Amino acid sequence: MNKTDQMPPPADLAYEIVSVRFSDLPNTYSYNRNQLNLKNGDVVVAETDRGDGVGTVILEAIEPSCNVPLESLKKVVRKATQKDIERERERKDLERKAFKLCVNKASEFKLEMNLVRVQYFFDRSKAIFYFTADGRIDFRELVKSLAKTLNTRIEMRQIGVRDKARLVGGIGCCGRELCCQSFLKDFEPVSVRMAKDQNLPLNPSKISGVCGRLMCCLIFEHDTYKKMSKSLPRCGKRVQVGSEKGRVTRQNPLEGTVVIELEGGKEVELSPDKLENDSNDT
């Protein structure tokens, strides 16, 4: 470790937590700065569940969250040296070679599986092969062959389509990085009811993510829509619009308005303060 890395940080960086992003792991992770003077874009070696890993600081040091005890966080070990960066390049090269080898071996053993990604530990002690398949796969012979050729421990891990999207990454229909890759920690059940409550078209192509399942964002936006909807007249309610009567057919929570179908068939969109209750409404 360089002496400059051990020097006390300037006053404006005297916080204890930094965010680190790893190229082969989804999401961003909070880390104990470990007294290092770090800035946005620094390449660092940090503790992970798979041993040390090379990542990038993507945010300046931030003030500790009262909900996250500093001692519970993994630590940044050091700023990455040129040797660390070169070892990381070599690891990536090993992953590409192992991916190609596994695809060829799977074909040789006639295994119906779709390899998604290979992840080598930083210390080369283990390689994890992520794949999708329609059913269970007997990959025992494949593992033996890979272990013999690559001379490391092999783990085959079958994943679902959502996990595949998280590992591969991509851009959602909103134009931003996929939620599951950028910040969403856990997958929770998503229902069509959530899409209905948000007045979304029930066209699968409109409410499905790149994984082909219902979009994850439906679930963490659902509670907000429900709260905002409570302040609006319910669908089916009869109301008075000036001299005409009508019925609420749709809510637009984000706009704070409702769509009214008048008795003549015309539709108008109004805020609740422009409406009166119909005395005949039951």
pLDDT of residue 65: 55
CATH number for 121: 3.30.300.20
For residue 168, tell me if it sits in a domain.
no
pLDDT given at position 13: 40
Residue 115 forms part of a structural domain: yes
pTM of the predicted protein model? 0.73
Please check whether residue 213 lies inside any domain of the structure: yes
- The pLDDT of residue 150: 95
For residues 14 and 68, membership in a common domain is answered with yes
Burial of 77 (0-12, 13-18, 19+ CB in 10 A): middle
Same domain, 118 and 180: no
Torsion of Cα atoms, 65 then 68 then 72 then 78, to 10°: -30
Which domain covers residue 208, as residue numbers? 173-229
Assess whether 13 and 57 both reside in one domain. Answer: yes
DSSP string, 172-188: -TTSSB-HHHHT--S--
Res 142: pLDDT:
96
121 and 96, same structural domain?
yes
Q: Would 94 be classed as within a structural domain?
A: yes
The stretches in the chain having pLDDT less than 50 are 1, 3-4, 6, 8-14
Please, are residues 55 and 22 in contact by the beta-carbon 8 Å criterion?
yes
The pLDDT, as a whole number, for residue 101 is 97
Cβ partners under 8 Å of residue 150, min gap 6: 98, 101, 127
Domain count, the chain: 4
Query: Does residue 112 share a domain with residue 75?
Result: no
164 within domain boundaries? no
For residue 189, is it within any domain?
yes
Look at the alpha carbons of 125, 131, 135, 141 in this order and tell me if their dihedral is positive or negative.
negative
Domain identity same for 220 and 257: no
State residue 281's pLDDT score.
59
Whether the CA torsion 49, 53, 59, 62 is positive or negative: it is positive
Same domain, 29 and 70: yes
Comparing CA positions, the residue from 194, 250, 196 lying closest to residue 222 is: 194
Neighbours of 145 (CB within 10 A): 18
Which of 52, 80, 108 is the endpoint of a domain?
80
**Single residue among 25, 58, 80 that ends a domain in this structure:** 80
Asked whether 129 and 152 are in contact (CB, 8 A), the reply is no
Show which of 130, 159, 188 is a domain's final residue. Answer: 159
Q: What is the pLDDT at residue 274?
A: 79
Round to whole Å and give the CA distance between 22 and 182: 11
Distances from the Cα of 232 to the Cαs of 166, 235, 259, in angstroms? 37, 9, 11
- From residue 278, alpha-carbon distances to 78, 98, 236, 247, 282 in Å are 70, 71, 12, 9, 9
Calpha distance 113→136 (Å, rounded): 9
Residues 222 and 264 both lie in one domain:
no
**One domain, residues 7 and 75:** yes
Exposure string for 237-263, b = 16+ CB within 10 A, e = fewer: bbbbbeeebbbbeebebeeebbbbeee
Write out pLDDT tens, residues 69-105: 777 889 999 999 999 999 999 999 999 999 999 999 9
pLDDT attached to residue 279: 56
DSSP symbols for 128-187 = EEEEE-SS----HHHHHHHHHHH-SEEEEEE--HHHHHHHH--B-TTSSB-HHHHT--S-
**Do both 151 and 185 map to the same domain?**
no
3-state secondary structure (DSSP) of residue 45 = strand
Same-domain check for residues 72 and 91: no
Task: Assess if residue 282 is contained within a domain.
Answer: no
Regarding whether 155 and 93 lie in a shared domain, the answer is: yes
Buried b (16+ CB within 10 A) or exposed e, 40-53: eebebbbbbebeeb
Structure token pair of residue 232:
């609006």
Amino acid identity for residue 85 in this structure: I
Read off the DSSP letter of residue 67: T
244, part of any domain: yes
